[in-house]
Amino acid sequence: MDPERDYEEIWQLVTAYEFPWDYWQSVSLAFFRTFAIPSISALLEETGEIVGHTQKRADDTLLIMYEMGRLGLESPEGRAYLRRMNQMHRRYVISNEDNLYTIALFIVTPAQWINRFGWRRLTVHEQRALTNYGRRLAHLMGIKDVPTTFADFDQFAQSYERLHFAVTGSSRRLAEGAMAFTEELLPKSLRGPLKPVMRRYSLAGLDDALLHAVGLPLPRARDRRLVTWLLRTRGRLLRVLPPRPDSRPHRPVLATYPDGHQVCEIGPGWLTEGRPDEQNNAVHDPL
């Protein structure tokens, strides 16, 4: 397969068959990193979706990313999800650099996670295909000055973080809201005793620079070593297990949409409750 031509199919195989759990865990981590950029955290807090509608916001992000990849960025069905995402974004003033940083995270963070914790490392072709997929998505979002290579995306993300990472009230509140949401995923009967454990080991999976920038405490060194060991051990075990029987993508089960969904249901209330000016206006689509 050619990563310059077949990048969407390679993306689907990597994310839905080879490393489904690793990919979506790393995407969640990538989104969490955006909280440490003051301009992004202020905007996310302004929308009220992260704190006020945490489950739906998380499900909508996952759903749009999943369906665009499954259906294809060039297909009419995939474009419907892309337009929905652009409709949600166009109401706000988002700088080109913030958009580009977010795209860079969705390319770099999964590759780094998989190479560190997956059952094998990504091949050069796979990494190039993920990069090309992100480049195409950035183009369809109207983002300019898009890097060409994975290394360029990585360098841009690192430079942007060194320049902009800073703790603010917004970053603290968003991070705490995300941590609380993660804890609420525990079974009700176990939340009391397991909440402190969940928080300890969630913090242990985050790097020091990120924790400083969102105002969360640093974990104990032994907790960080344990989390690293558990994730790497999982990868080693998967390596010796029989391969999965097929490569058909499995839709994630989302609490917000237990019976399925329509594109028009995705997004915040102002977009889903009959705002024809927001729903019907053209969005960036260079084709």
The answer to whether residue 225 is domain-embedded is yes
Judge contact between 285 and 94, C-beta under 8 A.
no
Distances (CA, A) of 192 to 31, 189, 198, 200, 263: 27, 7, 11, 14, 37
How confident is the model over 218-233, as pLDDT tens digits?
999 999 999 999 999 9
Which pTM value belongs to this model? 0.87
Minimal CA–CA distance to 54: which of 194, 180, 168? Answer: 180
Per-residue pLDDT of the chain (287 residues; tens, 9 = 90+): 999 999 999 999 999 889 999 998 999 899 999 999 999 999 888 877 666 677 777 788 888 888 898 889 999 999 998 998 888 888 778 899 999 999 999 999 999 999 999 999 999 999 999 999 999 999 999 999 999 999 999 999 999 999 999 999 999 999 988 888 777 766 777 677 777 888 888 999 999 999 999 999 999 999 999 999 999 999 999 999 988 777 665 566 677 787 778 888 787 766 655 444 444 433 344 44
Helices (H), 141-168: 150-164
Total domains present in the chain: 1
The answer to whether residue 287 is domain-embedded is no
Judge contact between 219 and 197, C-beta under 8 A.
no
The answer to whether residue 187 is domain-embedded is yes
Minimal CA–CA distance to 14: which of 153, 125, 136, 135? Answer: 125
How confident is the model over 151-201, as pLDDT tens digits?
999 999 999 999 999 999 999 999 988 888 777 766 777 677 777 888 888
The answer to whether residue 209 is domain-embedded is yes
Distance CA 135, CA 240 (A): 34
Q: Measure the CA dihedral 149/152/156/159, to 10°.
A: 160
The answer to whether residue 280 is domain-embedded is no
The answer to whether residue 136 is domain-embedded is yes
The answer to whether residue 256 is domain-embedded is no
Structure tokens at 141: 């979002």
Structure tokens at 162: 């060194």
Distance CA 52, CA 237 (A): 39
State in Å, rounded, how far the first CA of the chain is from the last one: 25
The total of other beta-carbon atoms located within 10 Å of residue 95's CB is 11
Domain residues for 138? 7-243
The answer to whether residue 77 is domain-embedded is yes
